[in-house]
Amino acid sequence: MSLADDRPSETVIDGAAFDAEEERHARAKRLEAVGKWALPTIVVVLTLYGWDRVVAINHIPHYILPSPGLVAETLVKDWGTLFPSMLVTLKITLMALSVAVIGGVALAILFTQSKFAEMAFFPYAVILQVTPIVSVAPLIFIYVDNRIVALLICAWVVAFFPILANTTLGLKSADHNLRDLMTIYRASRWQRLRYLQLPSALPYFLGGLRIAGGLSLIGAVVAEYVAGTGGIGSGLAFRILEAGYRLNIPRMFAALFLIAFLGVVIFMVTTALNWFLLHKWHESAVKRDV
C-alpha cells in the first residue's frame, strides 16, 4: 500500500482530535462562566454561615458581634434612617469623582501641552496625594463654612491624583512612530491631541477612574468621620459613629454593609464602562480564545 493511501485516515484522525480539543475548550469556557459567579457566591454563603455559627456556638452578645440575621433585620428595620444617609454619602462620592475627573483630565492635558506647567504644579499634586486626608480635613472644615463643600473637597483630594497621574501617563504613551507621522503631515497640536493622544490615554484614564471611584468613597466616609456632625444631612459614617456611641452594633454593621455595597456598585459600573469603551479595540479588554 502506498503512502498516499494512508492520508485519508490521517485526516480523519486529525479532524477527530481537533473536534475533541474544541469540545474540551468549549467545556472549559462554560465552567469558567459558571464558576465566575458560583465560586464567589459559595464563598459568601460559607462566610455568613461560619459567622452565624461562631456567634451561636460561643453565645456572643449582639452588642459585641451580631449575627448576620440580626444585621439583615436591622437593615430592614432602620432602612428609613440608613437609606437617606446612604444617599448623602453617594452624592458626596459622585460629586467628588466628577470634579476629580474634570480637574484631573484638564490638568493632565495642560501638563502634556506645557512642560513648564507640569514642572510647576505636579509636585503640589504629589503633596496632596501623600498627605493623609485625616490630617488635612480638620483645616478644611475650619476654613470652609459650607459642610457639603468641605466634605466634597476632602473626597476630591483623595480621588484626584489617580486620574491626573494615569491620564498624564496615557497622554505621554502615544506611539512615537505615530507622533512622527503626524509631524510629517503637519498636524496641529489640537489634531495630535484629539486623534492620537486622547485615544491612547483612554485605557489609562479608565484604570485611574476605577481606582478613583473607590477612593472618592473612602474620602467621603473619612471626611464624614472628621466632621462628626449629625442631623438630617448626615451620611453613613455619622450613623456608624452614632451607633457606636449607643452600642447599637447591629446598626453599625448594617451601615458598614451599605458602604461596602456602594463600593462594589461603583467598581462594577466603572468596570462595565471600561469594557464598553475598550472591548472592541484595546488589548486589555479584547477576549481571546486561549
At residue 155 the predicted structure's pLDDT band, cuts being 50, 70 and 90, is very high
Question: Using CA atoms, how far apart are residues 197 and 13, in angstroms rounded to an integer?
Answer: 51
Average pLDDT over residues 94-115: 94
Provide the phi-psi class of 273: left if phi over 0, else alpha when psi is between -120 and 50, else beta. alpha
pLDDT at 9 > cutoff 60: no
> What is the three-class DSSP state of 131?
coil
In the structure, what pLDDT confidence band is assigned to residue 40 with cuts at 50, 70 and 90?
A: confident
How far apart CA 200 and CA 179 sit, in angstroms, is 12
How far, in Å, CA of 104 to CA of 217, rounded?
17
pLDDT tens by residue, 199-240? 999 999 999 999 999 999 999 999 888 887 655 568 899 999
Q: What percent of the chain has pLDDT over 70?
A: 89
pTM of the model: 0.85
- Rounded to whole angstroms, how far apart are CA atoms 251 and 34? 34
Residue 47 burial by CB count (10 A; 0-12/13-18/19+): exposed, middle or buried?
A: exposed
* Average pLDDT score, the chain: 87
- For residue 226, the model assigns a pLDDT of 84
Return the minimum-mean-pLDDT range out of 7-11, 113-117, 124-128, 152-156. 7-11
Give yes or no for residue 153 having a pLDDT over 80: yes
In the prediction, which pLDDT does 21 show? 73
Are the C-beta atoms of residues 235 and 88 closer than 8 Å to each other?
yes
Give the pLDDT of residue 205: 95
Choice between 153 and 22, residue whose per-residue pLDDT is larger: 153
Q: How far apart are CA 281 and CA 235, in angstroms?
A: 40
Q: How far apart are alpha carbons 137 and 222 in whole angstroms?
A: 9
Burial 59-93 (b: 16+ CB within 10 A, else e): eeebeebbbbebbbebbeebeeebebbbebbbbbb
Give the pLDDT score at 186.
87
Q: How many CB atoms lie within 10 A of CB 199?
A: 13
Q: How far is the C-alpha of 77 from the C-alpha of 260, rounded, in Å?
A: 19
Let me know: does 109 contact 190? Beta carbons within 8 Å: no
Q: How far apart are CA 130 and CA 118, in angstroms?
A: 18
Integer Rg of the chain from CA? 27
Report the run of H or E that residue 24 belongs to, with start and end: helix 7-58
Per-residue pLDDT band for 1 (boundaries 50, 70, 90) equals very low
153 φ/ψ angles, rounded to the nearest 5 degrees: -65, -45
Quick one: pLDDT at residue 290? 47
Which class is 68-278 in CATH? mainly alpha
Residues contacting 152, CB < 8 A, separation 6+: 92, 95, 96, 99
The helix (H) or strand (E) run that includes residue 145 is none
Could you write out the DSSP letters of every residue in 217-264? HHHHHHHHHHH---STT--HHHHHHHHHHTT-HHHHHHHHHHHHHHHH
Checking if the pLDDT of 6 tops 80, the result is no
Determine the average pLDDT of the residues in 241-266: 94
Least confident interval from 104-118, 212-226, 276-290: 276-290
In the three-class reduction of DSSP (H, G, I as helix; E, B as strand; rest coil), residue 67 is classed as: coil
Q: Is the pLDDT of residue 4 over 70?
A: no
CA atoms within 13 A on the CB side of 56: 9
